């Protein structure tokens, strides 16, 4: 009997193994049901708000939010007292708090995360990110509502591309809801906007620049947040935004990711670039503390719509983002009409241009605004700077800040030269959509302390390198 039971068990086991190897084809059915899980609601929003420049009454409140100011700037200090203590030799130097768990880390002691801002720095940073999510939600829907299918088709964007744009707008609903929930009832709400574009290709270029400073603005503050749990949530949304920026580059016929590292910028630079495109907000809207710098106009901004993108002069729709304009491009100079490989810039997974948009040694002509200009919601923020007149151009890209001197400075105009530098060997540092700012000092800064440069910044703009 024992032998029989064993053999029977063995036979049953072998049968089971064989049966698992047989493919099973299931038919669709509606007879199975499950209790739906609770789904958190999204924040109330409009797909497309009102648009156009601000035309309301003069604002009763102007300038950034402020309180007592302790010093004109935060002093530069040496590394902290324990910065070099850890030997970094690959060995373990403390008991494990749990199996397979090295000692150290932040938020690793078992305390439950609360996903709540913990400081003024946290609140103002997340509020800035929320302003960005709201404008992206509107911008993506606005493009679909404003331009016809025929206009998108002429720019090489088919129905599937338009649906991707629609889906990116839906992503922004989730992002705005997430950040609003972490801020609470005073979280900023949707506003009205004004975009500097008149056709699909200008719209795509503006969108890839807007998503670039949205992404870079978060990278700049993410690791400085007091609330690391909030930072984790924000990280998982901003990585989606980075993919959006790459998609817009592909829509524009640009190489999708021409850098090894993404750049981070201070909050005041991101707010400077964002605020001019917000027309008005509700009267009780939460205001921000961040500075608005004057605009930097790049007079020969490279134009990705041209066969030779570097051969451009005054072909932007204005300062700050320096978005491309197609108004003065003849058909035979428009790269979307070219059939030549390396010249054609139709939307695609990747395009490698024969003629670069820019290059080391290129002469770049600049013009900048004076401070004191009203910008942003209800014209209620005023551009300002604490810097002396500028003498350097700071090229901020990837892990680098490189200064080039301004030449022939006269009446808020000058020129400089695109620098020849690499992040690491084989990686040109000035590549892609980067940030160009004018300064009065060539201060040494790195990605983690880039805000130290703010007291020396005179004007902020974006440069289309590559």
Q: Tell me the average pLDDT across 212-224.
A: 98
8 Å CB contact between 128 and 218: no
Confidence band for 3, pLDDT divided at 50, 70 and 90: very low
Q: Tell me the average pLDDT across 137-166.
A: 98
Confidence band for 26, pLDDT divided at 50, 70 and 90: low
Kindly report whether the global pTM for this prediction surpasses the value 0.85.
Answer: yes
Q: Tell me the average pLDDT across 448-464.
A: 97
Q: What's the pLDDT at 16?
A: 43
Q: Tell me the average pLDDT across 212-229.
A: 97
Q: Tell me the average pLDDT across 413-433.
A: 95
Q: Tell me the average pLDDT across 305-329.
A: 94
With a pLDDT cut of 90, the percent of the chain lying above it is 79
Confidence band for 391, pLDDT divided at 50, 70 and 90: very high
Read off the pLDDT of residues 228-251 as tens digits, 9 standing for 90 and up.
999 999 999 999 999 999 999 999
- CA-CA distance, 280 to 288, in Å (whole number)? 14
Q: What's the pLDDT at 264?
A: 98
Q: Tell me the average pLDDT across 100-119.
A: 94
Q: What's the pLDDT at 261?
A: 96
Q: Tell me the average pLDDT across 440-460.
A: 97
Confidence band for 141, pLDDT divided at 50, 70 and 90: very high
Query: 247-251 contacts: CB < 8 A, separation 24 or more?
Result: 247/164, 247/168, 248/204, 248/207, 248/208, 248/211, 249/208, 249/433, 250/347, 250/348, 250/349, 250/350, 251/157, 251/161, 251/204, 251/208, 251/347
- CA-CA distance, 73 to 445, in Å (whole number)? 15
Q: What is the dihedral of CA 284, 123, 459, 372, to 10 degrees?
A: 30
For the cut 70, the answer to whether the pLDDT of residue 22 exceeds it is no
Q: What's the pLDDT at 12?
A: 37
Confidence band for 7, pLDDT divided at 50, 70 and 90: very low
Q: Tell me the average pLDDT across 385-389.
A: 98
Looking at per-residue pLDDT, the higher value among 77 and 392 belongs to 392
Half-sphere exposure of 447 (CA within 13 A, CB side): 17
Confidence band for 379, pLDDT divided at 50, 70 and 90: very high
Q: What's the pLDDT at 39?
A: 84
Q: What's the pLDDT at 25?
A: 63
- CA-CA distance, 397 to 364, in Å (whole number)? 16
Read off the pLDDT of residues 161-171 as tens digits, 9 standing for 90 and up.
999 999 999 99
- CA-CA distance, 251 to 254, in Å (whole number)? 8
């Amino acid at each position: 009997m024992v032998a029989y039971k064993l053999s029977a068990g063995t036979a049953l086991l072998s049968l089971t193994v064989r049966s698992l190897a047989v493919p099973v084809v299931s038919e669709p059915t509606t007879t199975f049901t499950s209790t739906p899980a609770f789904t958190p609601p999204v924040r109330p929003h409009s797909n497309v708000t009102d648009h156009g420049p601000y035309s309301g009454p003069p604002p009763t409140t102007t300038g950034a939010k402020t309180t007592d100011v302790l010093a004109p700037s935060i002093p530069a200090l040496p590394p902290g007292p324990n910065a070099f203590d850890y030997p970094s030799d690959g060995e373990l130097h403390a008991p494990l708090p749990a199996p397979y768990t090295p000692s150290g880390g932040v938020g690793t002691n078992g305390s439950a995360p609360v996903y709540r801002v913990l400081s003024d720095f946290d609140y103002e940073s997340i509020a800035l990110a929320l302003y960005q999510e709201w404008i992206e939600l509107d911008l993506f829907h606005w493009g679909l509502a404003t331009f016809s299918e025929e206009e998108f088709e002429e720019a090489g964007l088919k129905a599937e591309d338009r649906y991707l744009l629609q889906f990116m707008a839906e992503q922004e609903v989730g992002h705005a809801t997430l950040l609003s929930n972490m801020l609470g009832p005073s979280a900023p709400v949707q506003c009205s906007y004004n975009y500097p574009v008149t056709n699909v290709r200008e719209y795509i270029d503006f969108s890839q620049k807007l998503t670039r400073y949205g992404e870079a603005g978060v990278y700049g503050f993410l690791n400085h947040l007091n609330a690391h749990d909030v930072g984790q949530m924000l990280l998982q949304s901003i990585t989606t935004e980075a993919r959006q920026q790459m998609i817009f580059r592909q829509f524009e016929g640009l190489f999708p990711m021409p850098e090894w590292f993404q750049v981070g910028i201070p909050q005041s630079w991101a707010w400077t670039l964002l605020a001019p495109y917000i027309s008005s907000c509700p009267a009780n809207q939460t205001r921000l503390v961040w500075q608005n710098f004057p605009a930097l106009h790049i007079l020969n901004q490279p134009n990705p719509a041209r066969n030779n993108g570097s051969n451009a002069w005054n072909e932007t729709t204005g300062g700050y983002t320096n978005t491309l304009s197609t108004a003065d491009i003849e058909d035979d100079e428009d790269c979307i009409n070219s059939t030549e490989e390396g010249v054609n810039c139709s939307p695609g997974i990747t395009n490698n241009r024969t003629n670069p948009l820019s290059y080391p040694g290129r002469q770049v002509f600049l013009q900048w605004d004076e401070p004191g200009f009203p910008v942003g919601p209800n014209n209620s923020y005023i551009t300002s700077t604490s810097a002396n007149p500028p003498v350097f151009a700071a090229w901020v890209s990837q892990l680098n800040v490189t200064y080039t001197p301004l030449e022939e400075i006269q009446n808020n105009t000058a020129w400089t030269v695109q620098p020849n530098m690499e992040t690491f060997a084989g990686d040109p540092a000035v590549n892609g959509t980067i940030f160009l700012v004018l300064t009065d000092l060539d201060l040494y800064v790195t990605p983690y302390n880039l805000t130290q440069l703010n007291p020396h910044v005179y004007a902020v703009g974006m440069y289309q390198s590559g």
